[in-house]
Amino acid sequence: MSGQTSVPNGIKFFIGGVSGMAATCFVQPLDLIKNRMQLSGSKTSTFTVISSILKNEGIFALYSGLSAGLLRQATYTTTRLGIYTWLFEYASQEGQPSFLVKAGIGMAAGCVGAFVGTPAEVALIRMTADGRLRIADRRNYKNVFDALFRIIKEEGLFTLWRGAIPTMGRAMVVNAAQLASYSQAKQVLLDTGYLKEGINLHFASSMISGLVTTAASMPVDIAKTRIQNMKTIDGKPEFKGAIDVLTKVVRYEGLFALWKGFIPYYARLGPHTVLTFIFLEQMTAAYKTNFS
């Protein structure tokens, strides 16, 4: 974007976080459906999950955990953007960074952002999963802050970072896969002449990138989801770690269960990227028009 330097870094981070939050308002139902499918120990489908939610919980249940989704964007996206911008500017002091350096910066930024965003992620997983449980087993968090305070009170502070390692691993995979596949898809579409620079190109590239990223990151994502939702029974957690989750999923549910929730995950990833980009561009343009 031309004139990007006229926007202070603090404003860039703020706009990035708000853009991610705005996009989440549109895709939150897909996040909920994906989480429900990943937590299901049996074979299920997107249609079955949606039908069950609408029948048993009502249409507004599709937005369960929205406050946690918004806090996750406020922490994860803002931190990731801040770290990426800082590292990219540092690496650019001696010229344009190579593709591998950009990928490394993206992975590092995603890793740090994921660590900061893990508490909101834990709350999100639990809040979106609550409706599938029996009434007696539900946690019934009122909102994300109630969830965070209760987790600290009932399970200890460090429970907020349960599943942090697979969450950080997922973020590194997502950032590396997104960066490589988005850049490549955009270049191929431009070279073939089917699309020109603009929102249609960004949308198509995002959807192709989303397909690659979804396939690459879902096994790590399902491990993260189940670890963050697990309960400790008689002092023993359900899973020992990410490898234990993946081993049990493959053993009891089959290899392809590692990609359970693929459709809603993919349907969320591409549009969320596009919507974030649209909001980012519009708010940046508005800032330049009104405050620069």
The CATH number of residue 54's host domain is: 1.50.40.10
181-201 pLDDT tens trace: 777 788 889 888 888 887 788
* pTM for this predicted structure: 0.78
pLDDT at position 250, please? Answer: 93
pLDDT at position 6, please? Answer: 63
pLDDT at position 292, please? Answer: 64
DSSP of 167-223, one letter per residue? Answer: HHHHHHHHHHHHHHHHHHHHHHHHHHTS--TTHHHHHHHHHHHHHHHHHHHHHHHHH
pLDDT at position 58, please? Answer: 93
Q: Rounded to whole angstroms, how far apart are CA atoms 36 and 45?
A: 10
Provide the mean pLDDT of the chain: 86
User: 237 has which bridge partners?
Assistant: 232
List, in order, residues 6 or more apart from 126 with CB less than 8 Å away.
65, 139, 141, 147, 228, 229
User: In this structure, what DSSP letter does residue 232 have?
Assistant: E
Amino acid letter, residue 28 = Q
Element (H, E) at 236: strand 236-237
pLDDT at position 3, please? Answer: 42
Q: Rounded to whole angstroms, how far apart are CA atoms 24 and 121?
A: 13
pLDDT at position 164, please? Answer: 92
Element (H, E) at 9: helix 9-39
pLDDT at position 88, please? Answer: 80
| pLDDT above 70 coverage of the chain, percent | 97
Amino acid letter, residue 10 = G
| Residue 116 contacts residue 76 (beta carbons within 8 Å) | yes
pLDDT at position 39, please? Answer: 87
pLDDT at position 11, please? Answer: 84
- The domain in which residue 138 lies consists of 4-291
Q: Which residues of the chain have pLDDT under 50?
A: 1-5
> How many domains does the chain divide into?
1
Token pair of 250 as six digits: 């493959």
